[in-house]
Amino acid sequence: MLLLSFCLLVSQAQQAQAWISPPNARGGCCLTCRVSRLAAAAGSGSDRWCNHELRNVVTTEWLQEHMFDAELAIVDIRGAVKKGQEPGSDFVSTVYEGLHEDYLELHIPNAVFADWTKDIAGRDANGVPAQLSDREAFAEAMEARGIGRGRRVVAYDNGNMLFATRLWWALRRYGFPEADISVLDGGWAKWVAEDRPVTDEVACPLKLLGEWGIEPEAEQPWLRLTAEQLQARLLERPQLHLIDARAAEQYTGEVRRAQRGGHIPGALNTPYKAFLQGGQGPYKTLKPLAGLREVLQSAGVDTSQPAAAYCNGGVASTVAMFALYQLGNARVTNYDGSWNEWGNREDLPAETTSLEQHQATNAK
Compute and round to an integer the Cα radius of gyration of the chain: 20
**Which residue spans within 205-310 are E strands per DSSP?**
224-225, 241-244, 268-269, 276-278, 284-286, 307-310
Residue 22 above 80 pLDDT? no
Please say if the pLDDT value at position 196 is more than 50: yes
In the sheet that holds 241-244, the strands lie side by side as: 224-225, 332-335, 307-310, 241-244, 268-269
Distance from the first to the final alpha carbon of the chain: 57
Query: To the nearest whole percent, how much of the chain has pLDDT over 70?
Result: 83
Q: Which residue has the higher pLDDT, 356 or 171?
A: 171
Give the pLDDT confidence score for residue 50 in this predicted structure. 55
Helices 162-173 and 317-326, interaxial angle, to 10°?
70
What is the greatest pairwise CA distance in the chain? 64
The confidence score (pLDDT) of residue 239 equals 81
Least confident of 22-26, 128-132, 274-278: 22-26
The reported pLDDT for the residue numbered 44 is 32
pLDDT, tens only, 202-247: 988 878 999 999 999 999 999 999 999 999 999 888 789 999 999 9
pLDDT confidence tier of residue 35, bands split at 50, 70 and 90: very low
Set out the domains of the chain in order of their start, with CATH numbers. 33-219 (3.40.250.10), 222-363 (3.40.250.10)
Stretch 85-107: mean pLDDT: 97
**Which of 204, 214, 152, 207 is closest to 183 using CA atoms?**
152
